[in-house]
Amino acid sequence: MQAAARPLPALEPAPFFDDVAEGPEGARAWWVESADRTRLRFAVWPGGARGTVLLFPGRTEYCEKYGRVAAEFAAAGYGMVAFDWRGQGLADRPQHRRDMGHVVSFDEYREDVAAFRAALDTLDLPRPWYLIGHSMGGAIGLRALHDGLPVVAAAFTGPMWGIQMTPFLKSISGIVLGLAGPLGFGRSFAPTTGPYVPMEFDDNPLTTDRDQFDYMSRQMRAYPELTLGGPSTLWVRAALRETEALMRRPAPDLPALGIVGSREKIVEPGAVAQRMQRWPRGRLLVIEGAEHEVLMESPARRRQTLDAILALFADA
């Protein structure tokens, strides 16, 4: 006689906009609370005879953005989980400015990871688990590896292990960021940033692929509550402190892949190269002609990225 299906754990269901995600069937989303009572959201695309991919998104991102990516991994036999960090997606946002990305310390994201880990343990998702960390999620993911995240391999796409700045901003960043707290402007938008403004394709630093760009744009037009503007000055200070701290740490002991586009304009490619050179079980892959979103690039560049990640996971 067939065993009865195991009941779902007592997690509170959360909204999920399946109509714009374009992911595999059966996606579910839940709420979870961090230790400081911040409400977070995560989404699961089930399946995964070969295991489960934990997708750590970048700043401004949300679960639905990775529906197409989840479909690619489902075709290869992997389930996927994506997360809304505090302050973005449908997670709780700063009360003083809901359209601003704001934390005082990246330790707040560590609390998010701890809450998500507890929820995933409850769901008992197929193992082994693998990590993909994109942009800011690459910094959060690297810290999570140091904290013992139970994955067997990690891929990082455009990881934020350094942030590109103009020479002028670099020259004043130490002074400005140091005064942000004492002078009371730390909770304001960082210099050169502001409220959310839709990007035009010709000026975007994310992808060279029009279809992928339109996919992201459709999601934000359909559900403007998913959009997010620039970061606060304190977020920038926290990000720079975290990237500097991570670069001083030795590499975690697991297979890893760092991937950047040759036209990267958001994170610092040199920091990624330096980190991967000092990762004994890691390597660097540069996708020629790609911008920041290597998983949402032209079909050929996307295929190159996916094939490299799938090979890493298969060999782990």
Asked, for residue 12, whether it belongs to a domain, the answer is: no
Query: CATH number for the domain including 243?
Result: 3.40.50.1820
What is residue 10's predicted lDDT score, i.e. its pLDDT? Answer: 79
Q: Which two tokens stand for residue 131?
A: 């990590």
Q: 135 — alpha (psi -120 to 50), left (phi > 0) or beta? A: left
Asked, for residue 233, whether it belongs to a domain, the answer is: yes
Residue 241, CB half-sphere, CA atoms under 13 Å: how many? 13
Alpha helices (runs of H) in the chain, residue ranges in sequence order: 18-21, 67-75, 107-123, 136-146, 167-183, 210-222, 233-248, 269-277, 299-315
Report mean pLDDT in 10-residue bins for the chain, 316 residues.
46 98 97 97 94 99 99 98 99 94 97 97 94 99 99 99 76 60 71 93 98 99 98 92 97 99 98 98 99 99 99 98
Asked, for residue 155, whether it belongs to a domain, the answer is: yes
Asked, for residue 100, whether it belongs to a domain, the answer is: yes
Asked, for residue 104, whether it belongs to a domain, the answer is: yes
How many structural domains does the chain have? 1
What is residue 120's predicted lDDT score, i.e. its pLDDT? Answer: 95
Residues spanned by the domain of 248? 18-315
Asked, for residue 72, whether it belongs to a domain, the answer is: yes
Asked, for residue 290, whether it belongs to a domain, the answer is: yes
Asked, for residue 69, whether it belongs to a domain, the answer is: yes
